[in-house]
Structure formats: C-alpha cells, structure tokens
Amino acid sequence: MAEILLISGSPTASSKSAALLEYSREWLRERSSFETALVSVRDFPTDDLILAKYDSPSFYVFKQQVSNAAGIIVSTPVYKAAYTGSLKALLDILPQYAFRGKTILPIASGGSPGHLLAIDYAIKPVLSTLGASDVLQGVYLVDQQFRIENGEPVVAGEVQQRLDESLAQFVANLEVRAAIR
C-alpha cells in the first residue's frame, strides 16, 4: 500500500488542480522514497458519492488507502469560494477520524486571487474534523500562474518554487514522523 495518497477533488476531465497533483506525484517519485497512489473523485460512481453510500464496495479500497497512508495531498479547484462538492462527498464517506496521525498538504487552484484564503477558511476545517493535526500551510495557485501542456502543468519560476518548497516540507514532516514512530 502507498505511503502517500494523492486525492483529486476535481470533477473535470482535463483538470488543472489534478495536473498539480500529477506534478506533485512526479516530484515525490524523483525526490523521495515514498510510494504514492493517486485517486480522483472521478473514479467513484456518482450515485455512491451523491447519495453518501458509505458502505458501498466502491469505496473499500479508498478507505484502505486512506487508513494506510502516512501522508495525504488533497488538491481541489475552488468552487463558489470553497472546495468542490464532489470532494466533500468523497470525504463524507470516510470514518470520523480518518486523517488522524497523518501529514496533510492541501493544494487548491482558483480563477481569482480573491479566494486565496479558501484553503484556510474552507478546506482546513474539514481536514481538522477528520482528525488531521499536522496540516501544512498549503499552496494556492491562480489559473494565470500556470498552464497545462500535454497534461502537465507548466508553472512560472516563483510559483514552482512555492510548490516545490511545500512538497519538500511535506516530505520532511513525514520523515520526522516516521523516525519517531
């Protein structure tokens, strides 16, 4: 089982926030020894998500992946000043303290810099409700700061540095927790 689980909260097929997650996965592959796995809200039956069928077999592997992960990266586009409804629907099927003891890195992409604080006022309270206490500051990128080429994000220098630094901090926190375990 993967030690780092990356969760994409975008319902869009060609997703910018999911591309940031792919970038993060590649970064982790190249610079850390952690195993990774990536899941998207798009992987689950819409009925199961919308009707909160938390006992559905379609969520079994996901719940195991969350339970076994030491670290989780959650990426979402900003929808109506918060995270997407589909990400919330996916997190809703998890047990109450599913994120307890895990290091979490939130990533969000938005169309406007006006929702820069969505990670703090919208995403972090949900992560906290799931029991997460080691939540990194997070990375918010505005659409103009990156573009997608061949499914990969091309990020401007200063922004890429911000993303890379957050990933390095995420790995450092995971290593510290692994050392004291």
Ligand X SMILES: Cc1cc2nc3c(=O)[nH]c(=O)nc-3n(C[C@H](O)[C@H](O)[C@H](O)COP(=O)(O)O)c2cc1C
Chain residues that interact with ligand X, rule: CB under 6 A? 10, 12, 15-18, 77-81, 109-112, 115, 143
Backbone angles phi, psi at 71, to 5 degrees: -135, 150
d(CA 9, CA 84): 6
Cβ(168)–Cβ(106) under 8 Å?
no
Backbone angles phi, psi at 104, to 5 degrees: -125, 135
- CB nearer to ligand X: give 88 or 134: 88
- CB nearer to ligand X: give 16 or 88: 16
Q: How far is the CB of 152 from ligand X (least distance, A)?
A: 14
Q: How far is the CB of 177 from ligand X (least distance, A)?
A: 29
Q: How far is the CB of 24 from ligand X (least distance, A)?
A: 13
- CB nearer to ligand X: give 56 or 160: 160
Pairing assessment for the beta strands 152-155 and 146-149 based on DSSP bridges: antiparallel
d(CA 172, CA 175): 5
DSSP-assigned beta bridge partners for residue 110: 142
Burial environment of residue 71 by CB neighbours within 10 A (0 to 12, 13 to 18, 19 or more) = buried
Q: How far is the CB of 134 from ligand X (least distance, A)?
A: 25
Coil, helix or strand at residue 142 = strand
- CB nearer to ligand X: give 21 or 174: 21
- CB nearer to ligand X: give 49 or 98: 49
Q: How far is the CB of 60 from ligand X (least distance, A)?
A: 26
